[in-house]
Copies of this chain bind each other. A is one copy, B any other.
Amino acid sequence: MPKTIKKVGVLTSGGDSPGMNAAIRSVVRTCAYHNIECIGIYRGYQGMIEGDFKEMGPRSVNNIVNKGGTILKSARSVEFRTPEGRKKAHENLVKAGVDALVVIGGDGSFTGGLIFNSEFDFPIMGIPGTIDNDIFGTSFTLGYDTALNTVVDCIDKIRDTASSHNRLFFVEVMGRDAGHIALNAGIGAGAEEILIPEEDLGLDRLLDSLQKSKASGKSSSIVVIAEGDKIGKNVFELKDYVEANLPEYDVRVSVLGHMQRGGSPSCFDRVLASRLGVKAVESLIEGKSNYMVGLREDKVILTPLEQAIKGKSEIDRELLRVSDIMST
């Protein structure tokens, strides 16, 4: 029979993403609903080591469902990578009476949680929070949908000026290892070409596509490029390359940058956060540990953290074909 959970700790870790606050709120209120106490841990694992805790009742999370960022703050913790750091963290949790942990973050945060669990047999549940959507076991990570909307809003604005001046724009979006944002926002924004880390389309194809595009009567074009595109050039090198090879083009570059991580979460992300928070807490109550909650095939499911970390969240290759057709 599982140990009864009396107090849950919740933290956000790694890069922040829209929906983290909604997830914190959900964890806090689900605890209250089940008459469990809840404490917030500031600045991720670092705050766990420093004992930077705060009791959280249901009213402490009023009016945050729509706020970007994380009220619990996030930080990287070098100290948590050491056994001493984790020992200190565990002592703080025990002292505070915390007997289970909800970790909102990405792969790195889950890895830290798994090690912590293996050392202290401490119940852990993960909620995938990152705009990159690069976590196995969920079709949508918290913040991904919001980031897509932010990106298409930005590119819509860029398109206004691109089409007024008949220009070509290269827009760099987030995604070091995963092309989800580039691929979906690229289709959403009507990009001519999309360059992603998962697929090396080659420079020839890009030139070819731009030439065809001009020939077909398009007067302006947008190319969306993930940070970690496979083509091996950064966006400014790519601009130089294209201008050298297609002198008829005057290329402008826009790097969207950190704003992609912020903003009020979309309805989708808020509902997702609410659902995942409920599932995370109730799974802990049921005695489960070392799982990540996620949404797949329209259902909230559990995936072992180990799989979530090792697995790869593949892009939907059909979308590459859709993108191709859309740029006809």
Q: Which residue on B lies nearest to A12, using beta carbons? A: B164
Tell whether A32 is near chain B: CB-to-CB under 8 Å: yes
Please name all residues of chain B whose beta carbon is closer than 8 Å to the beta carbon of A297 when the two chains form the complex.
297-298
Tell whether A239 is near chain B: CB-to-CB under 8 Å: no
User: When each residue 147-172 of chain A gets 1 if its CB lies under 8 Å from chain B and 0 otherwise, what string results?
Assistant: 01111101011111111111001000
Contact A187 B148, CB 8 Å, known A62-B218, A63-B163, A165-B16:
no
- A156's contact among B139, B149, B264, by CB below 8 Å, is which? B264
* Residues 161 to 209 of chain A near chain B (Cβ within 8 Å): 161-166, 169, 184-185, 187-190
Task: Please determine whether A266 and B158 come into contact, CB atoms closer than 8 angstroms.
Answer: no
- A296's contact among B63, B257, B298, by CB below 8 Å, is which? B298
Copies in the complex: 4
The complex places the Cα of A74 from the Cα of B274 at a distance, in Å, of 30
Tell whether A107 is near chain B: CB-to-CB under 8 Å: no
Please name all residues of chain B whose beta carbon is closer than 8 Å to the beta carbon of A274 when the two chains form the complex.
187-188, 322, 326
- A69's contact among B163, B318, B328, by CB below 8 Å, is which? B163
Task: Please determine whether B188 and A326 come into contact, CB atoms closer than 8 angstroms.
Answer: no
Please name all residues of chain B whose beta carbon is closer than 8 Å to the beta carbon of A218 when the two chains form the complex.
59, 62
Please name all residues of chain B whose beta carbon is closer than 8 Å to the beta carbon of A90 when the two chains form the complex.
none
Q: Which residue on B lies nearest to A70, using beta carbons? A: B164
- A157's contact among B73, B255, B259, by CB below 8 Å, is which? B259
The smallest beta-carbon distance between A61 and chain B, in angstroms, is: 10
For the residues of A in contact with B, the DSSP-based class is: helix
Please name all residues of chain B whose beta carbon is closer than 8 Å to the beta carbon of A145 when the two chains form the complex.
266-268
The smallest beta-carbon distance between A79 and chain B, in angstroms, is: 16
- A258's contact among B12, B25, B161, B298, by CB below 8 Å, is which? B161
Tell whether A315 is near chain B: CB-to-CB under 8 Å: no
Task: Please determine whether B268 and A63 come into contact, CB atoms closer than 8 angstroms.
Answer: no
Q: Which residue on B lies nearest to A152, using beta carbons? A: B267
The complex places the Cα of A255 from the Cα of B263 at a distance, in Å, of 17
Tell whether A109 is near chain B: CB-to-CB under 8 Å: no
Please name all residues of chain B whose beta carbon is closer than 8 Å to the beta carbon of A16 when the two chains form the complex.
160-161, 164-165
The complex places the Cα of A66 from the Cα of B62 at a distance, in Å, of 18
Q: Which residue on B lies nearest to A299, using beta carbons? A: B297
User: What are 8 of the A-B contact pairs (CB < 8 Å)?
Assistant: A75-B166, A152-B267, A152-B270, A154-B259, A156-B262, A161-B262, A188-B267, A275-B322
Interface contacts beyond A69-B159, A188-B271: sample of 13 additional A-B pairs, CB < 8 Å, sorted by A: A29-B328, A30-B328, A59-B217, A66-B159, A67-B160, A74-B165, A148-B268, A157-B262, A188-B268, A268-B268, A278-B321, A278-B325, A296-B298
